[in-house]
Amino acid sequence: MDCENNNSESKGNELKMMESKDWVKHTLDLPMVAKPGEYSSYCSGCSLILGKLIEITTNQKIENFAKKNLFYPMGITNYSWVFEPNQASKTTFNQKYITSRDLIKLAKMYKDGGKWNDQQIVT
């Protein structure tokens, strides 16, 4: 997709995306510029699409889904996250704030194949 955060000319550049009312729709409407798998670049809109897909498939806000299925089982309680992929998040940009110790927990869980304390958290 024409989505490069480091390229101000890209139609999917995050600053251009932030001007739109619906960031997910803006990203999904971007034109393809290469065949899938031929080229890669970082695109903030793609992670927002994944978050919205989780909300659609679970029929709940991603923050609630993550709290129940990720943060709570890992003992992560000191965090802040509001997921609104639209202009309401123009200043926070949907950022999740967690402690450095909790970030290490997430990294260890990832390193251990999605397991935390012998419990499969992520498949």
**Which pLDDT tens digits describe the chain residue by residue (123 residues)?**
999 988 899 999 888 998 899 999 999 999 999 998 898 888 889 889 999 999 999 999 999 999 999 999 999 999 998 888 888 777 777 788 999 999 999 999 999 999 999 999 998
Q: What is the pTM of this model?
A: 0.80
For residue 108, the one-letter residue type is K
* Residue 23 tokens, joined: 């960031």
Q: How far apart are CA 102 and CA 97, in angstroms?
A: 10
CB atoms near residue 1 (< 10 Å):
20
Q: Tell me the Cα Rg of the chain.
A: 16
- Asked if 107 contacts 100 with a C-beta cutoff of 8 angstroms, the reply is no
Output the six-digit token pair for 122: 């992520």
User: For 77-118, where are the alpha helices, taking DSSP H only?
Assistant: 100-111
Q: What is the pLDDT of residue 93?
A: 73
